[in-house]
Chains A and B, each alone.
Chain A
């Protein structure tokens, strides 16, 4: 299991941005979604999640709004801003480039 501290900071940002790209989610759901999608490999510590969310919001990649949760409670939903969408695209392609490069190195050296 990968500990969240092992995630490079940019990686957590990327995961968050990708997770909320489809639909606005609240913090808990973001953590759950990352865990599910990664087949429980990636555990996001809440202690890191919220600072990351606030930082991304501060940088205006994402925005937040209060809404009703599944169980009818007030929850803060995060969604991408337009700048955030562009940023996600460029970060995604960066990631692919990087990971395939690393893959090449691992395979061939």
Chain B
């Protein structure tokens, strides 16, 4: 009740301020009059009586203020007044306002943009039910060079049957291409064959139609398919009657049974259609071919550690049960989010750190500006203090001004970040929904607001505190123009600049290391040349191409037609162009060696190629020969091996002329003779080492792996041939989908896109830091010079040479730089370790990088010193002495 009354009083006083103030002055006047009357009656003279009464009262303005404060209605009133006043101050100093707002806006924009990416990848829950219970399960085949290996269907089936930790496990097939024919142009859809329970494991149901049933997921069942929302819109015009319709998928009839909800994507953005995997009994007993992705949902209250322990136990059982295939295989689960975020997580954390640094530098800069401005406003503030403003009140006003600046900067920063975010899309791994800067996310909005307010307080509080602790007398006596901040102020300003230098050094160090890593990657010899190479993806489908001669005829025709196109130097087919498949391996047995122990067999990568493929990619021939047209059907089976395979499998021997067969010791398979050794090709990624690898001529023998990628070495711009190549493929088979037509150099760039993005972002942030630090040093020195004008004038008048004055100013600037650089280098020494796994062939303590950035910052600091120093040497002593 009383609280209500109290609230009412407060509201009343808010809206009746004027009448209440009038009442207050009436009350005061009454009081004074009574006191004067009392004093008179005690025998004072009228003047004396009045003076005594007033003295008793203390300062009237101060008292009125205090009485108002007691009503607490002042806060809002003051706030409005401060905002008006602050806005006026900002308008009156457009240069200052522009500079401060832009500096802060850049800092805030960087934070908002990186936050929106970090939010999407690290914070926001994945769009699946209880997504933090979802894991991906890998085979551990480290023994063969695949620490995260795609599980074999047999292992999946056994994990599924034996585990006690997952509510359910689902698998998706190696996936790839789903030609959609029948209506319109043939199109290769990106799709996945999945076990029927995949969507229920994820906890997402189709928006339209039904989920897969177990009956759909057996060999021989009618073909069914579920569409992505995007495909439904794009290809089927959002037909609400789509359920039950038939399409031509994989050259067979399939019934559409469902459409997934908008925004659903799994396992990546490209996947547009899902079909049942229809594993046969034989598939599910196969422990030798590893090509699934397995997803599982943890039972409630089962931890990841428990799940991994259970998987290890099962892996041990399988090792004993299937020694031939499983002797060296383990199994483990990884939280789905960690898997999807992959190595973007450390990069993002680094960028989050970097943008914080940028913002801190911006804050230090603006705080410094505010300090020098506050120095100019000392007299104004001292006057207000004398006139009865409380220190709290001054603090409030100063903070309001900085918050106003920060909010302006925040609004501008938000705008900037909306544009910036679009360029950060490459930072978002494929497993996550893409971000678009266009639609303003409330979380990003809130974050930006919070950052702006925090920024305003951060850069505003130190100057505000200093000002509100002002000592009155000296300030009032000081001359208007200068109002020295005193040694304490100078120390504070120096400390701010030193911390700016230190922060900038850390950013520069990180950027330098990433740039060197990137340069190392670009200068790395990937074992092939990507310039002037066009890549075309033409995966064949079954049962159309069941017959080997038919496949050979397709490839021969396409190659013959393409090679006759003008501008084509050579063309070749391969199972996987570099960077498209890190694995693709098969076991081999070398002639004349004893039977290996279980699990000790050799598993090199296998690539089926046409004769001209090595020449097309300009691979290096180390020894022997490439394939030629005589390596055809009916002649000796031949093979090329890479250097790593030669070194690892034939140490100290010459592999040329040696023979091996595919499969295990007892398998009855033909022998291949090694005719050439080629340079290592980085298949898995430019920054990853090559595995042992062999190349077999496709036309010679049906090996069960089809070439899918056509590579064409062109004399001119590869893309100019794109349409002609398409036509040539279609002239060989008019129903063959052609996709992924792009220059190989683009694929290489894509492979480095994430690293390039990291390096360029960090470099951008470091450049901003460098600029801000330059301005910071410049501002401090200019201020110092203007403070010391008289002193310098005296020195010059007493015969100091310009060089001495120059040295004096430079030494002050360089001292700040040196202390900052020492602190920064020490911090960088500890912090760069945190990004060591983002580096490539560069030590996190790389002396060259550290030296280079220190020199760079030193040069920039000298530049920042130069202008103020020159001004100091050009001072006319007479004017300087009178300067006041």
Contacts and interface: CB of A to CB of B under 8 A. Distances in A.
B5 A28 contact: no
B305 interface: no
A51 B67 contact: yes
Contact of B6 (A27, A58, A69): A58
B4 to A, nearest CB: 8
Interface in B662-685: none
A50 B67 contact: yes
Nearest to B62: A47
A74 B26 contact: yes
Interface in A48-95: 50-55, 57-61, 69, 71, 73-76, 81, 83
Contacts of B28: 50
Interface stretch (B29-37, B267-275, B687-695, B798-806): B29-37
Contacts of A73: 30, 33
A69 B9 CA distance: 25
B650 interface: no
B57 interface: yes
Interface string A1-20: 00000000000000000000
B8 to A, nearest CB: 8
Contacts of A46: 31, 56-58, 63
B10 interface: yes
Given A58-B10, A58-B70, A28 B35 contact: yes
B783 to A, nearest CB: 41
B595 interface: no
Interface in B1-20: 1-3, 5-6, 9-10, 13
Among A26, A28, A45, A74, max chain B CB count under 10 A is at: A28
B72 interface: yes
Contact of A57 (B9, B30, B34): B9
Interface in B774-810: none
B72 A58 contact: yes
B831 interface: no
A51 B57 contact: no
A47 B2 contact: no
Contact of A60 (B6, B57, B66, B68): B6
Contacts of B26: 74, 76
B71 interface: yes
A5 to B, nearest CB: 11
B27 interface: yes
Contacts of A74: 26, 30
B71 A58 contact: yes
B58 A27 contact: no
A16 B215 CA distance: 87
Given A47-B63, A59-B6, A52 B30 contact: no
Nearest to A54: B70
Interface in B406-446: none
B549 to A, nearest CB: 98
A76 B34 CA distance: 13
A55 B67 CA distance: 8
Contact of B34 (A28, A45, A51, A53): A28
A27 B9 CA distance: 19
A75 B30 contact: yes
B23 interface: yes
A28 B68 CA distance: 18
Contacts of B62: 47
B70 A28 contact: no
B283 interface: no
Interface residues of A, number: 25
A55 B58 contact: no
A45 B2 CA distance: 28
Contact of A51 (B30, B31, B66): B66
Interface string B33-64: 11101000000000000000000111100110
A75 B26 CA distance: 8
A46 B9 CA distance: 22
Contact of A76 (B5, B27, B37, B56): B27
Given A28-B31, A51-B70, A52-B70, A58 B13 contact: yes
Nearest to A50: B67
Contacts of B750: none
Contacts of A61: 2
A26 B23 CA distance: 13
Contacts of A71: 37
Contacts of A75: 27, 30
B600 interface: no
B591 interface: no
Nearest to A46: B57
B525 interface: no
B749 interface: no
B426 to A, nearest CB: 58
Contacts of B30: 26-28, 69, 73-76
Given A45-B56, A45-B58, A47-B57, A55 B27 contact: no
Among B26, B34, B57, B58, max chain A CB count under 10 A is at: B34
Contacts of B67: 50-51, 53-54
B699 to A, nearest CB: 96
B717 interface: no
B69 interface: yes
A54 B2 CA distance: 15
A16 to B, nearest CB: 12
Contacts of B35: 28
Nearest to B34: A28
A57 B9 CA distance: 8
B715 to A, nearest CB: 88
Nearest to B57: A46
B357 to A, nearest CB: 46
Contacts of B72: 58
Given A61-B2, A76-B27, 6 more contacts: A27-B31, A46-B56, A54-B68, A60-B6, A73-B30, A74-B30
24 contacts: A26-B27, A45-B56, A45-B57, A45-B58, A46-B58, A46-B63, A47-B58, A47-B66, A50-B24, A50-B63, A51-B67, A51-B69, A53-B67, A55-B71, A57-B9, A58-B6, A58-B10, A58-B71, A58-B72, A61-B2, A69-B30, A69-B34, A74-B26, A81-B5
Interface of B: 1-3, 5-6, 9-10, 13, 23-24, 26-28, 30-31, 33-35, 37, 56-59, 62-63, 66-72
State the 5 A-B residue pairs at the shortest beta-carbon distance, nearest first: A47-B58, A55-B70, A60-B5, A54-B70, A83-B2
